[in-house]
């Protein structure tokens, strides 16, 4: 008799990394996934709507979601970091995606989350088309 391999959900986006240790490399945290001790705990949202955490070794077990929703969510978090560091302002469609992630974490409503991300992407694409992106520019 062979055992079934448990399938873990894909990662939509990393929402934070908690540093739980001194700078000498030792840590005082335990992995929420397997219980191993270490220093850094990665918090992330999965494509099934759950928010999970794991250390780097276990985090690698969760496959990266290849969906457009995951790509847009990761880009929204990257743009949010850029805005926080003062590199550029955060566009409203990226902010809407981040709000949808927060709402999904509260309500666990994945279909509504996917719809909100899709609506934000449509707004972004409309703006890009209206402002000449995606076409050849005349000189």
Q: What is the DSSP string of 83-119?
A: HHTTSSPPPHHHHHHHHHHHHHHHH--HHHHHHHHHH
- The burial of 14, by beta-carbon neighbours within 10 Å (0-12 exposed, 13-18 middle, 19 or more buried), is given as middle
Position 117 scores a pLDDT of: 92
In a domain, 2, yes or no: no
In a domain, 116, yes or no: yes
Residue corresponding to tokens 């707004």: 123
The sign of the CA dihedral 25, 64, 30, 77 is: positive
Q: Are residues 54 and 72 in the same domain?
A: no
Domain total in the chain: 2
Q: Which domain holds residue 110?
A: 68-130
In a domain, 106, yes or no: yes
In a domain, 139, yes or no: no
Position 99 scores a pLDDT of: 93
In a domain, 100, yes or no: yes
Residues of the chain short of pLDDT 70, as ranges, are: 1-6, 22-27, 134-139
In a domain, 124, yes or no: yes
Cα separation, 126 vs 124, in Å, equals 5
Q: Are residues 49 and 94 in the same domain?
A: no
In a domain, 99, yes or no: yes
Position 122 scores a pLDDT of: 95
Tell whether pTM > 0.75: no
In a domain, 117, yes or no: yes
Q: Are residues 83 and 125 in the same domain?
A: yes
């Amino acid at each position: 008799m062979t055992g079934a391999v448990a399938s873990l959900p894909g990662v939509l986006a990393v929402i934070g990394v908690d540093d739980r240790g001194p700078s000498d490399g030792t840590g005082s945290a335990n992995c929420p996934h397997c219980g191993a001790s270490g220093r850094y705990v990665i918090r992330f949202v999965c494509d099934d709507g759950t928010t999970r955490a794991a250390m780097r070794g276990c985090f690698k077990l969760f496959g990266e979601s290849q969906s457009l929703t995951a790509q847009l969510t990761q880009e929204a978090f990257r743009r949010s970091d850029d805005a926080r560091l003062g590199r550029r302002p955060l566009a409203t469609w990226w902010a809407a995606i981040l709000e949808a992630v927060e709402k999904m974490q509260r309500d666990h409503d994945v279909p509504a989350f996917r719809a909100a991300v899709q609506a934000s992407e449509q707004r972004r694409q409309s703006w890009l088309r209206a402002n000449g992106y995606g076409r050849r520019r005349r000189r």
